[in-house]
Amino acid sequence: MTEGATGTGAAPVSGTVHWIGAGLSTGSGLAALCDVADRVRLWHRTEERAAGALAARGLTGRAEPRAYTLPALAAELAPGDVVVSMLPAPEHAPLLATAIGRRAHFACSSYVSDAVLDQVPEAEATGLTVLTEAGLDPGIDHLFAQGLIARAERAVGGSTAATYTLTSYCGGIPAVPNDFKYRFSWAPAGVLGALRAPARYIEDGAETTAARPWQATRPHVIDGETFEAYPNRDSVPFVAQYALPAAWKPRTFVRGTLRLDGWLTAWAPVFAELERGDDERIAALARQLAATYPTTEADRDRVVLAVSLDVTAGAGERWSGRYLLDAVGTTEESAMARCVSRPLALGVRHILDGSLPPGLSRAAQTAERSQEWLAELAADGVEFSFRESR
């Protein structure tokens, strides 16, 4: 990496990457960065655990292990470095503040929070890139959606009055179905917390809110296989983020979660506890679930991401398209780790080569850049398919 390789207005890039955390989502993306960065440091709870994580991934000698604390990281950060956070979302804001203070760029795979967003103007003013939503979901789902919208605009016309349905469902599930119909790919407490958050989406042309998202679960068929899908978070702001044509009106717009058929029944006792709303009991349930359904080296995960767009214009003119990613983990790497770390590493590569602008980027942002990223991800071994019809 050549120091100073930057885009217009961007701060110099040093070529050093600090990857913070080595949990379940840290996969071959870390190795990919070792191939292109001048120097990679892996920060974990202790130096020994960082060294062990590198050894497990065959990266001993290719990255430097470090014991993570925020002051320890700050002491080693230099202007133009890139900080990659694999920590829980609440820790991103203080980490970003430290990065900005040391004139370092920042990247993560999580949704952008208000606490992160508040710091973007300062980062942009100093030529720093803040890359967020650059994992699987959010991340690859954005690339798929932007790619579909661009194709539909070419086919139907962005100024043509039309209605559309856009659905984006993603799920981490067991490759071999179990009685629980689930495999934890992140902390059970986080899974339960997400289920307690209301979901806002568009259905039948109107904004709708599900106070308990699982109660909006419905069948979703993909290539003949029936899944269960439910909305999560707030889908509505993504209508603007995806820059859908103003002449198109949404019939349905929902981003949500995909589960195995039978999940709703298998999780009935969990939902009953969530409905009681006792925080202590829910915390105890999360610990119980972690003990009862541990993630082991023997089982294999599966990731399914299906993003579909159907546009109907006047005189019955219609265009439909779908991207599908369906990946299964291997003995070397889980599907979740591959699908989160690979796009994040790709985004970091584009910080290193200066092609991402200063300020906030949510994944690739534009349709043109999304197509470029998808081609690069395919070359990196992230497989997916595209289908369209008229």
For the annotated catalytic residues, the residue numbers are 137
In angstroms, rounded to a whole number, what is the distance separating the alpha carbons of residues 82 and 100?
10
User: How far from chain centre, in Å, is Cα 186?
Assistant: 13
In angstroms, rounded to a whole number, what is the distance separating the alpha carbons of residues 301 and 86?
20
In angstroms, rounded to a whole number, what is the distance separating the alpha carbons of residues 50 and 352?
23
Q: 7 by DSSP, 3-state: which?
A: coil
Distances (CA, A) of 215 to 212, 218, 261: 6, 9, 15
| Residue 324: Cβ within 10 Å count | 17
Show the tokens assigned to 75.
């002491």
| Residue 72: Cβ within 10 Å count | 12
CA-wise closest residue to 24 among 245, 150, 145, 172? 172
Calculate helix-pair angle for 279-292, 188-196, nearest 10 degrees: 140
Asked if residues 346 and 373 have their Cβ atoms less than 8 Å apart, the reply is: yes
Half-sphere exposure of 260 (CA within 13 A, CB side): 20
Show the tokens assigned to 281.
């009991």
Residues contacting residue 272 through CB under 8 Å, at least 6 positions apart: none
Q: Which residue has the tokens 């929070």?
A: 113
Give backbone dihedrals phi and psi of 259, rounded to 5 degrees, phi first: -135, 165
